[in-house]
Amino acid sequence: MATKIILKHPGTGMLKSGYYGYSWTYLFFGWWVPLIRGELGVAALHLLFSCFTFGIWQVVVSFLYNKQYMTRMLVEKGYVLADSPGANDLARLKLGMAAPQSVVNAI
Protein backbone atom coordinates (compact mmCIF):
# COMPACT_ATOMS: atom_id res chain seq x y z
CA MET A 1 0.00 0.00 0.00
CA ALA A 2 1.28 3.45 -0.84
CA THR A 3 2.12 5.90 1.92
CA LYS A 4 1.37 9.61 1.45
CA ILE A 5 4.04 12.27 2.05
CA ILE A 6 3.95 16.04 1.54
CA LEU A 7 6.39 17.62 -0.93
CA LYS A 8 7.22 21.32 -1.18
CA HIS A 9 8.92 23.26 -3.95
CA PRO A 10 11.36 25.67 -2.24
CA GLY A 11 11.21 28.24 -5.03
CA THR A 12 7.44 28.54 -5.39
CA GLY A 13 6.24 27.21 -2.03
CA MET A 14 3.83 24.89 -3.87
CA LEU A 15 2.76 21.85 -1.84
CA LYS A 16 2.11 18.51 -3.50
CA SER A 17 1.27 15.02 -2.28
CA GLY A 18 3.68 12.25 -3.11
CA TYR A 19 3.46 8.53 -2.47
CA TYR A 20 5.91 5.71 -1.91
CA GLY A 21 5.27 1.98 -1.72
CA TYR A 22 3.09 -0.32 -3.82
CA SER A 23 0.89 1.42 -6.41
CA TRP A 24 -2.55 -0.14 -6.68
CA THR A 25 -3.48 2.74 -8.95
CA TYR A 26 -0.80 1.75 -11.45
CA LEU A 27 -1.81 -1.92 -11.26
CA PHE A 28 -5.40 -1.12 -12.26
CA PHE A 29 -4.88 1.85 -14.61
CA GLY A 30 -1.37 1.25 -15.97
CA TRP A 31 0.00 3.79 -18.41
CA TRP A 32 -2.90 6.16 -17.70
CA VAL A 33 -1.30 7.09 -14.35
CA PRO A 34 1.79 8.82 -15.82
CA LEU A 35 -0.40 10.33 -18.54
CA ILE A 36 -2.73 11.94 -15.98
CA ARG A 37 0.27 13.11 -13.93
CA GLY A 38 1.59 14.94 -16.99
CA GLU A 39 4.46 12.61 -17.87
CA LEU A 40 3.70 12.11 -21.55
CA GLY A 41 6.99 10.47 -22.52
CA VAL A 42 6.84 8.04 -19.62
CA ALA A 43 3.21 7.23 -20.44
CA ALA A 44 4.10 6.48 -24.08
CA LEU A 45 6.91 4.12 -23.04
CA HIS A 46 4.70 2.38 -20.50
CA LEU A 47 1.94 1.92 -23.09
CA LEU A 48 4.46 0.43 -25.52
CA PHE A 49 5.90 -1.95 -22.91
CA SER A 50 2.43 -2.94 -21.68
CA CYS A 51 1.38 -3.88 -25.22
CA PHE A 52 4.53 -5.91 -25.91
CA THR A 53 4.36 -7.80 -22.60
CA PHE A 54 0.57 -8.36 -22.68
CA GLY A 55 0.08 -6.51 -19.38
CA ILE A 56 2.83 -8.19 -17.37
CA TRP A 57 4.62 -4.82 -17.38
CA GLN A 58 1.79 -3.33 -15.30
CA VAL A 59 2.16 -5.97 -12.60
CA VAL A 60 5.94 -5.47 -12.34
CA VAL A 61 5.91 -1.67 -12.50
CA SER A 62 3.18 -1.37 -9.86
CA PHE A 63 5.93 -2.27 -7.35
CA LEU A 64 8.29 0.39 -8.77
CA TYR A 65 6.24 3.30 -10.10
CA ASN A 66 5.75 5.39 -6.94
CA LYS A 67 9.48 5.28 -6.15
CA GLN A 68 10.38 6.29 -9.71
CA TYR A 69 7.84 9.13 -9.74
CA MET A 70 8.97 10.45 -6.34
CA THR A 71 12.61 10.34 -7.44
CA ARG A 72 11.76 12.34 -10.57
CA MET A 73 9.82 14.90 -8.50
CA LEU A 74 12.56 15.29 -5.89
CA VAL A 75 15.59 15.25 -8.17
CA GLU A 76 14.47 16.70 -11.51
CA LYS A 77 11.78 19.14 -10.38
CA GLY A 78 13.44 20.32 -7.17
CA TYR A 79 10.82 19.34 -4.58
CA VAL A 80 11.84 18.56 -0.99
CA LEU A 81 10.16 16.40 1.64
CA ALA A 82 8.02 18.67 3.84
CA ASP A 83 6.16 16.33 6.18
CA SER A 84 6.95 15.59 9.83
CA PRO A 85 10.59 14.68 10.58
CA GLY A 86 9.66 11.05 11.28
CA ALA A 87 7.66 10.72 8.06
CA ASN A 88 10.48 12.37 6.09
CA ASP A 89 13.04 9.95 7.55
CA LEU A 90 10.88 6.93 6.71
CA ALA A 91 10.32 8.21 3.16
CA ARG A 92 14.07 8.76 2.72
CA LEU A 93 14.71 5.20 3.90
CA LYS A 94 12.07 3.68 1.59
CA LEU A 95 13.18 5.78 -1.40
CA GLY A 96 16.87 5.06 -0.84
CA MET A 97 17.75 8.71 -0.35
CA ALA A 98 20.63 10.08 1.70
CA ALA A 99 19.93 12.21 4.76
CA PRO A 100 20.17 15.97 4.21
CA GLN A 101 23.66 17.42 4.66
CA SER A 102 22.69 19.34 7.82
CA VAL A 103 21.69 16.06 9.51
CA VAL A 104 24.90 14.34 8.40
CA ASN A 105 27.01 17.20 9.77
CA ALA A 106 25.20 17.07 13.13
CA ILE A 107 26.16 13.42 13.62
d(CA 9, CA 16): 8
d(CA 13, CA 8): 6
What's the whole-model pTM score?
Answer: 0.76
Domains in the chain: boundaries:
3-106
| pLDDT recorded at residue 72 | 87
| pLDDT recorded at residue 101 | 53
The predicted-structure confidence for 56-106, as pLDDT tens digits, reads as follows 999 999 999 999 999 888 888 889 999 999 999 999 999 888 776 544 444
Among 100, 81, 29, CA closest to 37: 29
The predicted-structure confidence for 10-30, as pLDDT tens digits, reads as follows 999 999 999 999 999 999 999
| pLDDT recorded at residue 2 | 87
